[in-house]
Structure 1
């Protein structure tokens, strides 16, 4: 019996060359239709998975654009550098958040972005690259003129809610269900540097007790979900871990871990209701807490978030650590602006000179 070599024999026949790759401009009609369908599906999937708050904002932006088109006679899907520039000038004249005011530049910029995104993703428009560049240049001109004239628009940046404010707010909270809830909400809001909607969306199970404190799982976020470690505070009166535990026990939240963490209270009896607080209601709690404490600053739902960034910087923490706690991008321009307010005094070129 002879041994037989069973290893594959190399083919001596040269393989056929691969067909040349077709360029997109040579695709036939059926291929283009199939690719357009794939693109529309991808856009739809991404849009559908955006946070509800973002989708609502884009819908409002498109509604505003629709009103502009109706009043000016611009075709609804005619997004061009010229029409968007006219849109900015129209927005500049629109009333603001209360009587006698006008829209803030940041609101106009957001309306512009939301309109372009909605046109592209909801209505199949394919704006040219940089279609809003001219409109933003016009907005910049209007802002410079506004500053030159001394005009103020919008509410301005939120006042930071600092540690001394937390102490006063905590002391002023009454020892009833409302006071216990408000103390816990303000302290947790500060500790995780939350956005209002992030806090409103949390459930009881999203606050996990650990030997070192609490892991707060912020599952719903405008930017990205994050888990935030909240250690025990050195001062029991403003410790977010102790305050959360007190609220959970007083409200009997352990019975349903899937229920909202921050619950509404009955307007008359102040008993715990099944529904959770809306994002706007979270901001209202912050505002009322400052008023109750007699603080001569109007805090908003953004104040604890800015306050954490400011207070953390004052203790020497770097931007990356602060960004991680609050869910900012590592090199966020907004966060850098908050920190610059602190750094202008802590890292001043005149220190040690005069």
Structure 2
């Protein structure tokens, strides 16, 4: 950092022709940072410019630390889509003009996938947003108007697809429901794995878990309370999703999440190595076919487990890792729960658009705005 600042303000280096003393060629983002440091040095002096530059480095480090891993993965994948688009169309990678962005979304919907098929509009929207982030990180200036033009093109083309009867993507995952929970509880075998499966499903439904939530829980994050459980969810991406979710004893003991948790932990303590009951051990563990604990569950293993558990129970449409989260919102609304209470329990922002989308209308008849008006 010291060399960068001093180089930026040393007049003997900046003005030299190409050769030994010439400044190195920087990429756009680094060049922009260098120019900023030079302005600071002229305005405030070298020492202040150095401290401001160090503060910028700290800001970059904080941004990297608070960005979830799955968001980083999305940025990486979407940048590959952008570079593939640029290679096909022979457009420069580091230009984000209105025309380039509109061409990008058009290409994605028509042929953007590796197999030559078009992306679903939701996937194209994700790739557009992440590609813009990637361009800006590389020093490319993209105006809000140009980005808005690309988004408008995407939305208009998505409407055209619907008008032509073409629906892409998997659609929203099916939501968990009480009948499904009962079927799952009855289908869980009387084994450590069965008790784990029941506790994973029943507790996850009651705090609207994502796959990464139970995977990130430690034993100490789940505490017993006279009225039930308190689950400290620390894996959320927002200030709303990091929460202490309270889960009460259920009236129906067959699908009571608190009783299921207690039974699972008691069996784990009795049948597994004592280290798995420590407060810093994973709350939900992987178990092999012989009943041996293999370690903590990851998000992917939770997703696979939910699918397998619902399949074993004969649930008509197999659940995914997101079914429990959708289920709390939709069943909670059916039972007349307040929207704010649902949001707080599930870690949504109050009046969240995604939460409102999860409050599914099961068949469009019982929950119909026009029913009974006349």
Q: Give the TM-score taking structure 1 as reference length.
A: 0.83
Deviations 1:111-164 (CA, angstroms, capped at 9, x unpaired): 11111223334x233322243211111111221111111112111111111111
> Quick check: 1:349 aligned with 2:370?
yes
Matches of 2:101 and 2:57, distance apart in 1: 24
Q: CA deviation at 1:347?
A: 5.8
Match of 1:227 in 2: 244
CA 1:36–1:120 in structure 2 vs 1: closer, same or farther (change >3 Å)? farther
Q: Where does the alignment leave 5 or more consecutive residues of structure 1 unmatched?
A: 1-24
2:291 to 253, 266, 270: 270
Aligned counterparts, 1:100-249, within 5 A: 102-121=118-137, 123-224=138-239, 225-249=242-266
Q: Give the TM-score taking structure 2 as reference length.
A: 0.79
Deviations 1:228-263 (CA, angstroms, capped at 9, x unpaired): 111111111111111111111212276322121111
> Quick check: 1:258 aligned with 2:280?
yes
CA 1:130–1:153 in structure 2 vs 1: closer, same or farther (change >3 Å)? same
CA 1:76–1:352 in structure 2 vs 1: closer, same or farther (change >3 Å)? closer
Matches of 1:326 and 1:96, distance apart in 2: 34
For 1:62, what is the secondary structure of its paired residue?
Answer: helix
Match of 1:21 in 2: none
Q: In 1, are the aligned partners of 2:208 and 2:326 still within 8 Å (CA)?
A: yes
2:344 to 321, 324, 331: 324
Q: CA deviation at 1:48?
A: 2.2
Q: CA deviation at 1:298?
A: 2.2
Match of 2:41 in 1: 30
CA 1:102–1:239 in structure 2 vs 1: closer, same or farther (change >3 Å)? farther
Q: Where does the alignment leave 5 or more consecutive residues of structure 2 unmatched?
A: 1-35, 44-48, 270-274
Matches of 2:191 and 2:213, distance apart in 1: 25
2:90 to 45, 48, 73: 73
Q: CA deviation at 1:195?
A: 1.1
Q: CA deviation at 1:307?
A: 0.8
State the aligned residue count.
324
CA 1:114–1:125 in structure 2 vs 1: closer, same or farther (change >3 Å)? same
Q: CA deviation at 1:325?
A: 0.8
Q: In 2, are the aligned partners of 1:203 and 1:257 still within 8 Å (CA)?
A: yes
How much is the aligned-residue C-alpha RMSD, in angstroms? 2.6
Deviations 1:289-328 (CA, angstroms, capped at 9, x unpaired): 2211112112111111111111111111121111111111
Q: In 1, are the aligned partners of 2:276 and 2:282 still within 8 Å (CA)?
A: no
Q: Larger helix proportion, structure 1 or 2?
A: 2
Matches of 2:57 and 2:103, distance apart in 1: 29
For 2:282, what is the secondary structure of its paired residue?
Answer: coil
